[in-house]
Structure 1
Amino acid sequence: MSSWSSADSAVSSSKEQSENDERQTRNWLDLPRDVTAAILLKLGAVEIITSAQSVCTSWRSISKDPTMWRAIDMRNLGDLHDMPYDLEIMCRHAVDRSCGQLVDINVEHFGTDDLLKYITDSTSHLRRLRLAWCYGISDEGLCEVAGKLPLLEELDISIGNINDDGIEVIGLNCPNLKSFKFNTQVFTWPYIESDDEALAIARTMPELRHLQLVGNKLTNTGLCAILDSCSHLESLDLRHCSNINLEGPLGKRCTEQIKDLRRPNDPTNDYFDASMRDSGSFDEDYPMGISDTDFLSDDDYEDDFYAFSDGSDFSDNIG
């Protein structure tokens, strides 16, 4: 009896293990579509296009859903020459996939006037636009598209070529703007004072709730203009604004009027961390449980990858 019991136990254990393995194998493919979409969205646009969409036909189908591209985050560390693909070509492809539903996009380090025009020609629903470190975007380019951004609520044009002209046009055309970042590279500006940008903000952005001006050349005059005009401000970042003196009545006013105030001498550690954050990477090993029979062919992957390679042309045939 004991030998039969042992055999039965072994068979039962083997069967349970087989069933567990089978469940584990099909779990990823059996996930509801919305759950899989939520997982893919954690990866970011570059990882979806270069890696995740090539895992299986199911993931590829989900990756083509326009709702997956309402937000396109292509942030990077600026090492564009080391990339095996062209971010601008890839970004245009991602914008096309949104089918006019795009509301949020980040093209830091590689945005250009032409790309910005392509984006704003493709959607009238943008609410968040991040153009930090985009030296390829000019005042003229920003002014050209400002009229196509009536719903814009958040804008980051830190560290680039934009000046008070671009700021003013944006303010006049984007009445819903609530958050504005216009930081410069952090260093001291000896004997250089300018309130042009601060006054442009004060004149045209009365609905601001959040304003970041790290390293700006504004003086107390420009700051007072902002405080007078932007009465809804909740947070104000003045770190490394070396021409600002918050001693006396102005400092008291800032403390009373602004809930979250960053003073000129406050540490900038988190500012540098935020500027240099990585977008993450896709795990080289595919998740457990995806069947080999559901993988795309090498040709499917190579067609997409070639379309975004440096020096190649964007292809209308890319699916």
Structure 2
Amino acid sequence: MASSSSSSPPQLEANETRNWVELPRDVMAMILHKLGAIHILESAQKVCMTWRNICKDPAMWRSIDMRNLGDLWSMPYNLEKMARHAIDRSCGELVDINLEYFVTDELLQYLADRASQLRRLRLACCSEISDEGLSEAAKKLPLLEELHIYLSPLSKVSLETVGRCCPRLKSLKFNDRGSRSSYVGCDDEVAVVIGETMPGLHDLQLFGNKMTNDGLQAILNGCPHLESLDLRQCFNVHLVGPFGKRCSERVKVLQRPYDPTDDYEFDTTVCDDDEDSFDDEYPSGFSEIDFLSDVDNDYEFSGGGSDYSDYGELFFDDY
């Protein structure tokens, strides 16, 4: 009996240390931020008043991550409205945002109007954005340092605007699907635009680009600070002889057209347009998806903008 009685106090003490509400605010903010914008807005901020107050702090929204959202066609959320609300919560302090699939020109404009301090912008698989939409946004983002674009229908038109309006740009990823075809035109114009308008680049990834050696030469001539260059699946580039040697000497980290793609997060299947088929020699892999089927409550906004007054009343009815 004495042994049982003496073990009780440590058990109570252990339980007390598991009370997350009593964690230091900065530690709790760091933990909550790792959940991502979706989980914060849909779940975490509803747990208690302390967590809700932390989640409303603009510092929590200096970096917004809305990638890997699961099956977009079956999710109950209006993701564009959710993104707008996340942007609003940053109160102009947003410096980094990561978006996939659901981005439109209107959302880009909304972002640009409210995030003039933005340094990093990542857009993936965004079929609803246009050259005009990205160009208009770039004009309002003069501090942009990193622009990463994956599998989106954009061209040299918007890249030229980005180059001329974002003089601090140091990292560009402008990636496509790898393709080998005897009749596919090259993308040297894109490379020339990069060389002419982005002299400050240190990091460049052109995965699946159709440019030739001429385009690569334009990049090397116009980007003297280039340290990292990823040319995987750029099958019209041939790094042989003196030219290949120059590239190796000129760039510290060089990934060649036929280098492995194991670390690339999107589909790496090579399209063979001549045969209307796919080349099985190359591994394929999609970005990892975190399905949210276990979330009980829908996150739906009614009305326009990001007015949260009705939602707040519903939330606090239980307190």
Would you call these one fold, judging by a TM-score over 0.5? yes
Partner letter of residue 243 of structure 2?
A: L
Q: Could you state the TM-score of these two structures normalised by the residue count of structure 1? A: 0.85
CA distance in 1: counterparts of 2:173 and 2:43, whole angstroms: 32
Are the aligned partners of 2:119 and 2:144 in contact in 1 as well (CA < 8 Å)? yes
Are the aligned partners of 2:70 and 2:291 in contact in 1 as well (CA < 8 Å)? no
1:15 equivalenced with 2:15 (yes/no) = no
Q: Which is richer in strand?
A: 2
The aligned runs of 1:3-42 (5 Å cut-off) are 7-21=1-15, 23-26=16-19, 28-42=20-34
CA distance in 2: counterparts of 1:141 and 1:281, whole angstroms: 30
Q: C-alpha root-mean-square deviation of aligned residues, in Å? A: 2.4
Kindly name which structure, 1 or 2, has the bigger radius of gyration based on alpha carbons: 1
**Quick one: which of 36, 41, 65 aligns to 1:44?**
36
Are the aligned partners of 2:70 and 2:289 in contact in 1 as well (CA < 8 Å)? no
Are the aligned partners of 1:211 and 1:237 in contact in 2 as well (CA < 8 Å)? yes
Map of 2:213 onto structure 1: 220
CA distance in 2: counterparts of 1:41 and 1:67, whole angstroms: 10
Shift of 1:78: 6.6
1:265 equivalenced with 2:244 (yes/no) = no
Long gaps (5+) in structure 2: 268-284, 313-319
Partner letter of residue 113 of structure 1?
A: D
Distance 1:156 1:18, change over 3 A: closer
Partner letter of residue 156 of structure 1?
A: H
Write the deviation string for residues 42-69 of structure 1: whole angstroms up to 9, x where unpaired. Answer: 1111111112112222111111111000
**Quick one: which of 68, 71, 74 aligns to 2:66?**
74
CA distance in 1: counterparts of 2:158 and 2:237, whole angstroms: 23
CA distance in 2: counterparts of 1:34 and 1:281, whole angstroms: 28
Shift of 1:19: 3.5
Distance 1:93 1:271, change over 3 A: same
CA distance in 2: counterparts of 1:93 and 1:315, whole angstroms: 5
Distance 1:197 1:49, change over 3 A: same
**Quick one: which of 272, 275, 287 aligns to 1:277?**
287
CA distance in 2: counterparts of 1:315 and 1:194, whole angstroms: 40
Are the aligned partners of 2:70 and 2:292 in contact in 1 as well (CA < 8 Å)? no
Are the aligned partners of 1:255 and 1:261 in contact in 2 as well (CA < 8 Å)? yes
Distance 1:262 1:150, change over 3 A: same
Partner letter of residue 278 of structure 1?
A: E
Map of 2:115 onto structure 1: 123
**Quick one: which of 214, 225, 241 aligns to 1:248?**
241
CA distance in 2: counterparts of 1:98 and 1:128, whole angstroms: 15
Shift of 1:171: 0.2
Partner letter of residue 43 of structure 2?
A: S
Distance 1:259 1:12, change over 3 A: same
Partner letter of residue 54 of structure 2?
A: I
Where 1:155 maps in the other structure, the secondary structure is strand
Distance 1:25 1:165, change over 3 A: closer
1:196 equivalenced with 2:177 (yes/no) = no
Q: Which one is further off, 71-80 or 10-19?
A: 10-19
Higher relative contact order (CA 8 A, sep 6+): 1
1:108 equivalenced with 2:118 (yes/no) = no
Where 2:240 maps in the other structure, the secondary structure is coil
Shift of 1:209: 0.6
Map of 2:271 onto structure 1: none
Distance 1:145 1:158, change over 3 A: same
Shift of 1:283: 11
Question: Could you list the runs of 4 or more consecutive aligned residues of structure 1 that deviate by over 6 angstroms after TM superposition?
Answer: 281-285
**Quick one: which of 61, 65, 70 aligns to 2:57?**
65
**Quick one: which of 140, 148, 167 aligns to 2:132?**
140
Map of 2:282 onto structure 1: none
Write the deviation string for residues 254-276 of structure 1: whole angstroms up to 9, x where unpaired. Answer: 10011111111112221146983
Map of 2:155 onto structure 1: 163
Where 2:299 maps in the other structure, the secondary structure is helix
Shift of 1:281: 6.8
Are the aligned partners of 1:51 and 1:282 in contact in 2 as well (CA < 8 Å)? no
CA distance in 2: counterparts of 1:314 and 1:279, whole angstroms: 28
Map of 1:291 onto structure 2: none
Shift of 1:247: 0.7
Long gaps (5+) in structure 1: 1-6, 286-300
Partner letter of residue 121 of structure 2?
A: L
Write the deviation string for residues 204-262 of structure 1: whole angstroms up to 9, x where unpaired. Answer: 00000111111111111110110011011111111111111111111001100111111
Q: Which one is further off, 39-48 or 276-285?
A: 276-285
